[in-house]
Amino acid sequence: MPFAKLGLHSSIVRAVAAKGYTAPSPIQEQAIPIVLTGRDLIASAQTGTGKTAAFALPILNRLGPHQAAGPRVLVLEPTRELAAQVDESFAEFGKFTDVRRALLHGGVGYGKQRSDVRAGADIVVATVGRLMDFLQERALRLDRLEILVLDEVDRMLDMGFINDVKKIVAMCPPKRQTLFFSATVPPEIEAVARFALKDPARVSIGRQRSVNESVTHAIYPVPMHLKFPLLLALLEKTDFRSVIVFTRTKHGADKIAKKLKAEQHSVAVLHGNRSQGQRKDALLGFKEGRYEVMVATDIAARGLDVEGVTHVINYDIPGTPDDYVHRIGRTGRAAAEGDAFTLMSPDQTGEVRAIEKFINAKIPQLQLEGFDYKAKPTAPTPGEARTERDPRQRDQRSFGGGPRPQSRGRGPGPAAHPSSPYGAPARPLSATGPTPRHEPREAGAPLPGTTGGKGSGGQQRFKDRAPTPFTPKGKPGAHWQSRSGRR
């Protein structure tokens, strides 16, 4: 079905076409007609499904021309990066309209934000903390609000924002439309939805807990002291375009980034201790292709949309199984494909099992051909030590570092075990059996360069020469149905 058939105004359909979208994604097809009627909506959709346009397009349609008197739309986002990304989407989809926007988030001065609000923003996209500042100062009023969007609500819950979110909801006029987006809707989120929404329609795209089908996963078992050498070898042998390397801690991210830079990789670092300017440069530079590798903590795991991320590498196993799903969601976005590698040290097999249980799929375990798994530890270097969990990071989460699946009503999960954040006892590597091959990919190219993938004929995926030289990324127009053109 073309966008024009969804009942959108021609100025919006033009902007969508200019963006290169030819057909609505499933979430857009379902959600847009509902939002256009003015009804409340709870949408649970996997990240990368096109949910931003699913709300931005019908909202722009409902707004019509600019009106001076105060914001009519408020979109709440959990992180600055997401807020900036959503604001940018409104700018693009609204480029043939005269609506005005204000983007409010922390880490930067108030000057421009104040003047954008004073100039009569129709749409305010904000993070919770900065919005609270504006409301407390009475620099912004919500009494003209018509549409409230609560995006990535599960993330807001995790980050401890939910009480502020409730306060903000209570300040909005009762007669409004509320749109609620959350990757998953466990009971705690349902409770927030009951508080904020009236008789909502529901849309659910994809299985909860599922990972993008366009992503190929692999676990690389590796002794702890060889993690960094294996990361380097993977980067060298992989024909990547851009890679996100996830670590559990900010400190770990800094260490890995430093060592990668020393190996001549162009590296961006994104974590919560970096200044807003550094975070912005990291993301922009990575999006533009100035950096081929971004080393990040889970701050980058949710919702961030970087076109053409070909690989995600979990240098550290994620803190919880659903963090795995979110990290992996950074690649294989829209119609593209991606690879997700996870380095697993011998004591982490239980954590991997918990991830497999959570996503209901077995992840192949592979060995990189030609890599010396028997190399002895050299003098310990900081980056090779297992990065410790940073309590400040985890403390932001209402669930602490414990296994969230149980507490979020996601089934029984693995047995509790004191030494594992996943609650599962570790088992020896040998228990994993022979190294399986990757499932063949749609393009017919299984992951090569591995002992499991011998003869699989996928040399286009791995190469035995130096790392891919940096090539600036283009901006190909995406077609939702197309699965080609990744590299």
Contact residues toward ligand AMP (CB under 6 A) are 21, 24-25, 28, 47-53, 305, 307, 333-334, 478, 480
Question: CB of 243 within 8 A of CB of 293?
Answer: yes
**Minimum CB distance to ligand AMP, residue 28 (Å):** 6
CA 446, 448, 454, 456 dihedral sign is: positive
Q: Which residue, 254 or 305, is less far from ligand AMP as judged by CB?
A: 305
92 phi-psi bin (left φ>0, alpha ψ -120 to 50, beta other) = alpha
Q: Which residue, 113 or 127, is less far from ligand AMP as judged by CB?
A: 127
Cα–Cα distance, 64 to 12 (Å, whole number)? 10
Angle of CA points 52, 208, 37, to nearest 5°: 40
Q: Which residue, 21 or 315, is less far from ligand AMP as judged by CB?
A: 21
Residue 319, beta-bridge partner list: none
**Minimum CB distance to ligand AMP, residue 296 (Å):** 17
CA 202, 207, 213, 216 dihedral sign is: positive
**Minimum CB distance to ligand AMP, residue 48 (Å):** 5
Question: CB of 387 within 8 A of CB of 316?
Answer: yes
Burial class (CB in 10 A: 0-12, 13-18, 19+), 357: buried
In which residue are the tokens 């909202």 written? 59
Q: Which residue, 236 or 307, is less far from ligand AMP as judged by CB?
A: 307
Residue 268, beta-bridge partner list: 294
**Minimum CB distance to ligand AMP, residue 335 (Å):** 7
**Minimum CB distance to ligand AMP, residue 152 (Å):** 10
Q: Which residue, 90 or 324, is less far from ligand AMP as judged by CB?
A: 90
Cα–Cα distance, 225 to 16 (Å, whole number)? 49
Q: In Å, what is the CA distance from 407 to each residue of 31, 163, 164, 188, 237?
A: 29, 19, 22, 10, 40
Question: CB of 102 within 8 A of CB of 117?
Answer: yes
Question: CB of 421 within 8 A of CB of 319?
Answer: yes
Q: Which residue, 209 or 333, is less far from ligand AMP as judged by CB?
A: 333
**Minimum CB distance to ligand AMP, residue 88 (Å):** 10
**Minimum CB distance to ligand AMP, residue 333 (Å):** 5
Q: Which residue, 52 or 331, is less far from ligand AMP as judged by CB?
A: 52
**Minimum CB distance to ligand AMP, residue 485 (Å):** 12
Residue 244, beta-bridge partner list: 294, 312
Cα–Cα distance, 364 to 221 (Å, whole number)? 10
Q: Which residue, 25 or 177, is less far from ligand AMP as judged by CB?
A: 25
**Minimum CB distance to ligand AMP, residue 133 (Å):** 27
**Minimum CB distance to ligand AMP, residue 227 (Å):** 31
**Minimum CB distance to ligand AMP, residue 243 (Å):** 18
Cα–Cα distance, 384 to 224 (Å, whole number)? 7
Question: CB of 320 within 8 A of CB of 424?
Answer: no
Q: Which residue, 110 or 480, is less far from ligand AMP as judged by CB?
A: 480
Cα–Cα distance, 153 to 76 (Å, whole number)? 9
Cα–Cα distance, 351 to 114 (Å, whole number)? 46
Number of Cβ within a 10 Å radius of residue 430: 8
* Helix%, strand%, coil% for the chain, nearest 5: 35, 15, 50
**Minimum CB distance to ligand AMP, residue 80 (Å):** 16
Q: Which residue, 31 or 102, is less far from ligand AMP as judged by CB?
A: 31
Q: Which residue, 33 or 382, is less far from ligand AMP as judged by CB?
A: 33
Q: Which residue, 35 or 317, is less far from ligand AMP as judged by CB?
A: 35
Angle of CA points 9, 12, 18, to nearest 5°: 140
Q: Retrieve residue 361's tokens.
A: 């799929």
